[in-house]
Amino acid sequence: MTRGPRERAGRPRRARIPVRKRLLVRLLIASVLIAVCSVAATTWLAIETTTRALKEEQGQALADDMDILARLSGYAATHPDWRDVRATVRALSARTGRRIALTTADRTPLADSAPPGTSLPPRAAATVDPLHTDTYSERGAQRTGIDPRAVGPYRLTAPERTALDGLARIRQRCLTRYGLATTVTRVPSGRPVVTEDTGAVGEADLDATDCADGRLNTPTPTEEKALRALQEQAGGCLTRLGLGTGTPLYLVVDVTEGLVPAVAAKFSSARDTQALHTAQACVDNARRAQLDPYVAPVAELFLGGGAGDAPPRFDMSPANKAKVAGAAGLVLAVTVAVTAVVATRLVRPLRALTEAAQQPPEAHARVPVTTRDETGILAEAFNDLAERRERLEAQRKALVSDIAHELRSPLTNIRGWLEVTRDGLVDPDPQLLSALHEEALVLQRVIDDLRDLADADAGTLRLHPEPVPADELIAQVAAAHRVAADTAGVTLRTRADGAPWLDADPVRLRQALGNLVTNAVRHTPRGGTVTLTAGREGDRVVLEVADTGSGIAPEDLPHVFERFWRAEKSRSRRTGGSGLGLSIVRHLVAAHGGTAEARSTPGRGSAFTLRLPAGTAPRDP
């Protein structure tokens, strides 16, 4: 049927979608953004990868420079002059590709890997002095700044080494018997040191007295001679500084670090820190003077870039070039993937809508809303329609099933008693009439609960809010259930923290708390306690009903507020209630803008907490 011009003119026109929300415009924008992002990402990755590669190359060059300095410092520590250093310089230059030149302090050449006549760099890269080594840049340097390879008169003779090696093997075998895994290392002076996983083995660390004989760590005659000379020279320094006392200087020697002497006891016992530092300085200076004839003179180290003394070039290694190529390929792959994802995303809502519309009505299919364009608006409308149909269908089925289930038992009982009375099998005595009355009360209670739930579901539950003091509210509920609690042998208590006020319907709140108290008394054994508490937390008033009953199992706790649910399926409606009480509590609290929650510990009790918006006390309560 075709509508006429007048009918079409009378229809409201749908608001036009903004240009930026149209599919065509979004596709163009996405294409431009993908192109821009891919170019920017490629540039960024290339810069980052190249920078990292250059840093690695520079780091390797710096490591080579440090190795050159360490090798030349070691040469100076073990040779009294630089006469034979040319072979070492040429070997280091060939391995690192750097120009290496050694000169005296006045720039007199000692050794140079460059051809004769090549000018030196403007500044020296470092000073080679084994007696004044930078402990932060030189690996293995001692705390005194002396290269540990400079041993001079402390170098052991061959017989002394042989004797100490034998003592080290004896110590190692002894420690092995006590379960200690050890190795023997050798310090530059030639002294062997027994070490384990945690460091050097000291005599105080051992439980076996037969291993700690002290012979391995005792200075040899060569070391004793050098130490006496050191002590005499340091003593003269102390005398000149006014610290000489005539008492021989007491030195503590650490053989595990290459025989490093340190001042101890004589000054530290008097807690004279300045004197102790002065004495240690005298010992260090005396040791440098003692080692000076055995080490090479101070030299200046010049480093260049190789042939022609050109500036060092940082060419990328094949591995770094592969990283750059891999980064570019990764960006290309990501660009293609993002383009495919965007295109699929634009079509996916239409496909999802088509598939959902083809589903049977009882499936109540929905589609995800991923956009805010034409397809997104259509998907939202489709989902709203499906949700309303599903909710109405579920409410209808649940209502019919629950009513039939709840009314069947009491009606069956009433019918059975009436039939046997009609047939003359039972006399209508007061006991029979009382039983029929109880069944009628069960029916009335179920019908009243269903009516309250129907009003809550339909949104027609009427509330008459007014200022209500929370402490009086729980007192009223406790008074109304006091007789039932006393009959069950349960103690009913109330506790209020201050006097919080609520802006609520007192009748409905008493109904909600009454349901909770009834359940608590029903599930609390004789001698137990049910406590009603009222307090305030921020802008909320907290009402709690706690009992010392049997509690609720963890798997049942999430279902306690569902209608017609019981933790014990064997309970009848007369002993276990209608199964609607807690569901009514939740709806009544929600109608007041609050929340209801339950917590329980099996065997120790349960607690139901209601959190409601706090009200303001009236000026004239």
State the residue for tokens 């608590």.
520
Q: What is the pLDDT of residue 260?
A: 57
Predicted confidence band of residue 209 (pLDDT cuts 50, 70, 90): low
If one compares 26 and 473, the residue with the highest pLDDT of the two is 473
More confident residue, 155 or 261: 155
Q: What's residue 528's pLDDT?
A: 93
Give the model's pLDDT for residue 527: 92
| Helix locations, 565-621, DSSP H | 573-576, 581-591
pLDDT at 317 over 80: no
pLDDT at 562: 74
Name the CATH topology of 462-613. Heat Shock Protein 90 (3.30.565)
The yes-or-no verdict on residue 529 having pLDDT over 90 is yes
Per-residue model confidence (pLDDT) at position 363: 76
139 residue type, one letter: R
pLDDT per position as a tens digit, 56-91: 766 767 777 888 888 888 888 888 899 888 988 898
Average pLDDT over residues 326-350: 71
Residue with tokens 């840093």: 55
Q: What is the pLDDT of residue 501?
A: 92
pLDDT computed for residue 429 by the predictor: 79
Q: What is the pLDDT of residue 571?
A: 44
Does 136 score more than 60 pLDDT?
Answer: no
Distances (CA, A) of 265 to 276, 294, 599: 9, 30, 68
pLDDT of residue 546: 93
Specify the range with the lowest mean pLDDT, choosing from 178-192, 361-375, 517-531. 361-375
Long-range pairs of 221-224 with CB within 8 A, sequence gap ≥ 24: 221/160, 222/153, 222/154, 222/155, 222/156, 222/157, 222/160, 223/154, 223/156, 223/189, 223/253, 223/259
**pLDDT tens digit string along 347-406?**
777 777 778 878 887 777 888 777 777 777 888 888 888 888 887 777 677 667 766 766
Reported in sequence order, the residue ranges of 214-274 that DSSP labels E, i.e. its strands, are 251-254, 260-263
* The pLDDT value given to residue 515: 86
Q: What is the predicted pLDDT for the residue at 261?
A: 60
Position 203 confidence tier, pLDDT thresholds 50, 70, 90? very low
pLDDT for 12:
39
Whole-number pLDDT of residue 187: 84
Q: What is the pLDDT of residue 240?
A: 75
Distance CA 603, CA 584 (A): 26
Chain Cα centroid distance, residue 497: 39
Selection from 174-188, 256-270, 430-444, 474-488 with the highest mean pLDDT = 474-488
The answer to whether residue 204 scores a pLDDT higher than 70 is no
| For range 151-168, the mean pLDDT | 88
| pLDDT of residue 309 exceeding 50 | no
Statement: residue 327 has pLDDT above 80: no
Asked if residues 227 and 283 have their Cβ atoms less than 8 Å apart, the reply is: no
Q: Is 116 left (phi over 0), alpha (psi -120 to 50) or beta?
A: beta
The arithmetic mean of pLDDT across residues 455-470, rounded, is 78
Using one digit for the tens of pLDDT, what is the confidence trace for 400-452?
A: 776 676 677 677 777 887 887 888 777 777 877 777 777 777 677 667 766 76
Rounded to 10 degrees, the C-alpha dihedral 133/138/140/143 comes to: 40
Using one digit for the tens of pLDDT, what is the confidence trace for 23-61?
666 666 777 777 777 777 777 777 777 777 677 766 767
Between residues 332 and 358, the one the model is more confident about: 358
Instruction: Check whether 578 has a pLDDT greater than 60.
Output: no
Asked if pLDDT for residue 174 goes beyond 80, the answer is: yes
At residue 182, the pLDDT reads: 83
Mean pLDDT over all residues of the chain? 76
* Residue with more model confidence, 557 or 323: 557
Residue, of 256 and 436, whose pLDDT is higher: 436
Q: What is the pTM of this model?
A: 0.43
Q: pLDDT band at 569, cuts 50/70/90?
A: very low
Mean pLDDT of 11-27: 58
Domain ranges for the chain, please list them.
20-146+303-358, 152-294, 462-613
Q: Which pLDDT score, from 0 to 100, does residue 36 have?
A: 74
- 449-462 confidence digits (pLDDT tens): 667 666 666 666 77
Q: Are strands 99-103 and 540-547 parallel, antiparallel or unpaired?
A: unpaired
Q: What does the pLDDT read at residue 379?
A: 83
Distance CA 201, CA 218 (A): 14
Say if residue 200's pLDDT is above 70.
no
The DSSP code for 389 is: H
